[in-house]
Amino acid sequence: MIPINYNLRNLAVRKTTTAAAAFGLALVVFVVAAVLMLNNGIKKTLGRSADPSGVVVLRKGADNELSSTIDEPAVGMVLATPGIAHATDGAPQGIGELLVVILLDKMGVDGFSNVQVRGVPENVLKFRTDAHIIAGREAKPGTDEVVVGRAIRGRFKGVELGQSFELKKNRQVSVVGVFEDGGSSFESEVWADLNTIRTGFGREGLVSSVRGHLESASKFDGFKASIEENRQLNMQAMRESEYYEKQSQGISILITALGFVIAFFFGIGAVIGAMITMYAAVANRQREIGTLRALGFSRFAIISSFLLESILLALAGGTVGALASLGLGFVKFTMMNFASWSEIVIGFEPNVSSIVTAFAVAAGMGLIGGLFPAWRASRMSPVEAMRA
């Protein structure tokens, strides 16, 4: 086999063409890695909202909280269902919540967007043990005080500690605290008193969903059967993980499809660039190829050497693109969640599988881009090549 130092030397000699081809490949790897990391970020942001033993109960036929309405008396019936865990004082571990969407002006740019406001009971922080106040204080029950998620803080006018905004026309609410919840989608919400939301939006006696903790995850099937077989309730139950997976499907499919369409066209350009680079290498090294053939190297050795050179070129570009994509881990932005038609703060989530997949794409493009030039080099006649 031809020593790998031969390929490395040739790549170093052709600095300009090597750099141009590597840049194109790096760009494709960057896009592929970014799409995979963003998709992972969407799933993790919503997935972090799920408790392994948590259940979500909605009105039958509703596919999200916004389209679900449940009468207040039914909340107690759901939480009295066998399988629901109880606190040390005997109270069931569950709450009813009301979700609405309001329009708020964005900060720093013109325009407005939808923001989710969740009406919660006063024991919400005892139920959601991962959520805690990081600035300010808890909102007082029965008042026009609210707390806002860390991710949405300062992204809209008035949504900042010590400021206020209109919940509805002529209904101001004051931001008295900021909470975090481990990076979950709840951090993109405003939490207000349940009765404040009910009276403000004409939803007296209603909630959107009932959430509860089961005694154990194994109790879910029995709990689900009890809820859905009760015709008086007319409700459906699902695990929190299942619920949030469904909520993430629409946005995840869109991002993945758009990202890979862009990556596909960039990939075509990168492959063409790699082919041009390798064809130029073959044209400029005909005498070298003839010499190698005269020294006894087989056609297989020649084609393997040129393919290896193309793959090395791709991996060099892939390394640059992958390293650049890791910087996206510090980027967060808002995008529309199609399940709730409100903005949610999403971040890129780097992981090993994203980087490995991006590298595999780079290697594949290098292989495709170098295949025909390598085949052409292997088919050269030693005598004709040395005369060129």
* pLDDT at 56 (0 to 100): 94
Phi then psi for residue 54, to 5 deg, are -85, 145
pLDDT band for position 365 (50/70/90)? confident
Separation between Cα atoms, residue 108 and residue 95, nearest integer Å: 36
Q: Model confidence at 254, in pLDDT bands (50, 70, 90)?
A: confident
Question: How many C-beta atoms lie closer than 10 Å to residue 103's C-beta?
Answer: 11
Mean pLDDT (the chain, rounded)? 82
pLDDT number for residue 6:
62
Element (H, E) at 318: helix 299-326
Confidence of residue 135 (pLDDT cuts 50, 70, 90): very high
Residue-wise pLDDT tens digits, 258-316? 777 776 776 677 667 666 666 666 666 666 666 666 666 677 777 777 777 777 877 88
Q: Is 270 buried (19+), middle (13-18) or exposed (0-12) by CB count in 10 A?
A: buried
305-330 per-residue burial string, b: 16 or more CB within 10 A, e: under 16: bbbbbbbbbbbbbbbbbbeebeebee
Q: Give dist(CA 114, CA 361) in Å, integer.
A: 38
Most confident of 41-45, 204-208, 332-336, 353-357: 204-208
pLDDT bin (cut points 50, 70, 90) of residue 338 is low
pLDDT over 90, % of the chain: 35
| Predicted pLDDT of residue 291 | 66
CB environment 104-137: b (16+ within 10 A), e (fewer)? bebeeeeeebbbbbbbbbeebbebbeebeeebbe
The residues with which 346 forms a beta bridge, in sequence order, are: 333
Contact 197, 145 (CB under 8 A): no
Query: What mean pLDDT comes out for the span 215-223?
Result: 92
pLDDT number for residue 384: 58
Residue 162: predicted pLDDT: 93
Residue 206 pLDDT grade (very low, low, confident, very high; cuts 50, 70, 90): very high
Task: Pick the more confident residue, 315 or 145.
Answer: 145
Under a CB-based contact definition with an 8 Å cutoff, are residues 320 and 234 in contact? no
Say which range, 62-66, 182-186, 338-342, has the weakest mean pLDDT: 338-342
Cα radius of gyration (the chain): 29
Report d(CA 245, CA 317) in Å as an integer: 34
Q: What is the pLDDT of residue 387?
A: 55
Q: Is the pLDDT of residue 343 over 70?
A: no
